[in-house]
Structure 1
Amino acid sequence: MFTIAVISNATAVPNEATIIQQLFAEGLEVFHLRKPEADEQTMRQLIEAIPAVYHDRIAMHGFYHLMEEYNIHRWHFREEHRQSTTKEELVKLKDKGYTLSTSVHELPTLQRLTSLFSYAFFSPVFDSISKHQYKGIAGDDFYLKAEQKPVPVLALGGVEANNIHSLVTMNFDGAALLGAIWQEPEMAVENFKLCKHNVHTY
């Protein structure tokens, strides 16, 4: 099963909560809430604007102390956060019922990941849409071998409707959309549906 996740825009977007709700209604499985410069009040307002029925599909990239209050159980580790967290701490979070994910940028690091994580983002796969200095690592012959994936791997970076199908032949388990959704917020839902269609008809 090919999973498509969406990562929030780093800064506020007009009608953001409405768009997120529409994405969930279209079958979005997991939404990664990443606002590195937001304050707690901004985060609370956004979470509260999303119907509680969808909160179990939200993954937090910070403000972890809000998770219990809003019944959120998906905990994402940035690379530096993961490196400073012990295996014992990860086990405790798993035992409390959290789904853990993380971000990885190099294949050797990916291969060393503990299976305590449910999945990992690997980036940048293609040239980034939102960060032009990030060049993708996936050439035409890129293939992710089974032994390189201790956990399911979602491709991040430059993924859009025109190239998402190629991730299937590269042996990725899914994709994370960012620029493809938020570059044109008014087209976010249509672009999400197109990505889903292009994967499932490939």
Structure 2
Amino acid sequence: MFSIVVISHAAAVPNEAAIIQQLFAEGLEVFHLRKPEGDEQSVRQLIEAIPAKYHNRIAMHGFFHLMNEYNIHRLHFREEHRQETSKEEMVQLKNKGYTLSTSVHDLPTLQRLTSLFSYAFFSPVFDSISKQQYKGFADDDFYLREEQKPISVIALGGVDAGNIQSTMAMNFDGVALLGAIWKEPANAVENFKLCKQHVQTY
């Protein structure tokens, strides 16, 4: 089953909670809440504005102390965060019922990941939509072999409706949408539906 996840914009977006709620209503499986430009108060307000029935679909990229409060059980490790965390700590989190994910930027690192993680973001696949200087690594011949995937691998970076089928042909297990959703917040839900449609017709 090919997954589509959405990552939040780094900064606040008008009507953000309403857009996220609409995305969930359209079948969004997991929403990654990543707010490097936000403070605790703004992150708290955003979570509270999302109906509690969707909180189990939120993955946190920071402000982890809020997770218990809002019954959130998905935790994302940035590369540095993963390197600073002991295997024992990760095992404890896993045993407590947390779903762990992480980010990688090269194949050797990806292949060293263990099944403590449910999936990994692998980026940047294509030239980034949101960060002009991020150039993608995938050419037309790129293919992720099964033996290179110790866990599910989610393509991140420049993914939109125009190239989502290419990521399927490259043997990714899913995609993470960021710029495709937040570059035009007014069209966020339509763009998400378009991506879903392309996956279903592949």
Number of aligned positions between the proteins? 202
> Is 1:5 aligned to 2:5, yes or no?
yes
Matched residue type, 1:8: S
* Post-superposition CA distance 1:36-77 (Å, at most 9, x none): 121111011000000000000000000000000000000000
**How far apart, CA to CA, are the structure 1 residues paired with 2:132 and 2:28?**
26
State the 1:151 CA deviation. Answer: 0.5
Could you tell me how far apart the structure 1 residues matched to 2:39 and 2:120 are? 26
* In 2: Cα distance, 1:63 partner to 1:130 partner: 23
* Cα distance in 2, alignment partners of residues 35 and 168 from structure 1: 28
Give the SS at the match of 1:133: coil
Deviation at 1:147, TM superposition (A): 1.1
> Could you tell me which residue of structure 1 aligns to residue 31 of structure 2?
31
- What is the deviation of 1:21? 0.1
> 2:43 — aligned with what?
43
Q: Counterpart of 1:162?
A: 162
Q: Which residue number in structure 1 is paired with residue 151 of structure 2?
A: 151
The residue that corresponds to 1:64 in the other structure is 64
Q: Which residue of 2 aligns with 1:87?
A: 87
| TM-score, normalisation: structure 2 | 0.99
Q: Which amino acid aligns with 1:99?
A: T
Cα displacement (A) at 1:10: 0.2
Q: Which residue of 1 aligns with 2:140?
A: 140
TM-score (norm. length: structure 1):
0.99
Structure 1 gaps, min length 5: none
Which runs of structure 1 show a deviation greater than 3 angstroms over 4 or more consecutive aligned residues?
none
In the alignment, does 2:197 pair up with 1:197?
Answer: yes
SS in 2 for 1:22: helix
Amino acid at match of 1:186: A
State how far apart, in whole Å, the 2-side matches of 1:117 and 1:42 are. Answer: 28
In structure 1, the partner of 2:15 is 15
Distance (whole Å) between structure 2 residues aligned to residue 45 and residue 141 of structure 1: 44
Structure 2 unaligned blocks of 5 or more: none
Looking at structure 2, the residues matched to 150 and 29 of structure 1 have their Cα atoms a distance apart, in angstroms, of 22
SS at match of 1:5: strand
Identity of aligned residues (%): 80
Name the CA distance, whole Å, in 1 between partners of 2:190 and 2:33: 20
Task: Give the CA RMSD over aligned residues.
Answer: 0.4
Q: Match of 1:114, as an amino acid?
A: T
Shift of 1:114: 1.1
Question: 1:165 aligns to what SS in structure 2?
Answer: helix
How far the C-alpha of 1:33 sits from its partner, in A, is 0.1
